[in-house]
Structure 1
Amino acid sequence: MAGYHDDKDQVMRRLRRIEGQVRGLQRMVDADDYCIDVLTQVSATTKALQSVALQLLDSHLGHCVQDAIARGGGEADAKVAEASNAIARLMRA
């Protein structure tokens, strides 16, 4: 079961809201809105996606990684490395 299972409805609501933001961006570009206004909305959408990513990462650490560490062994090391790689990807984004 995914670590975000208990928060799935909230995550889905946030993603639908972000989807609406992206559609709004498409309309702005189609309407030739002012560049800075579009960039402002791109920034807001990016921040919203980053917020969802952090929530998912927190759930992963609190559920999947924590469970693997409790079980011990190689799976724990793999889950920690996987989480570390995910954090690195988020930092680069």
Structure 2
Amino acid sequence: MVRIQEVPINQIRRPLFRQNDQEKVAALMTSIAEIGLQEPIDVLEVDGQYYGFSGCHRYEACSRLGHETILCRVRRAPRSILQKHLA
């Protein structure tokens, strides 16, 4: 089951480092400031913890704008699914 909800940005763990395109982040910051975040990011909820593996540019843009929460598409998953994402 997937649900859409606001999640505190500081509660989303991003275990895989990814280099973001700073021009894309800047463009998203402008767009999000003007019209808001249009597409939620995807996160896994495992044992009450949130893990983000996609939506890196949107996540960074919202963080840099000072947003405390971000709209997420949350999918609850067992630890075995998290391990597959980390492999």
Tell me the TM-score normalized by structure 1: 0.22
Tell me the TM-score normalized by structure 2: 0.23
Structure whose CA Rg is larger: 1
Structure with greater proportional helix content: 1
* Structure with more relative contact order (C-alpha pairs < 8 Å, separation 6 or more): 2
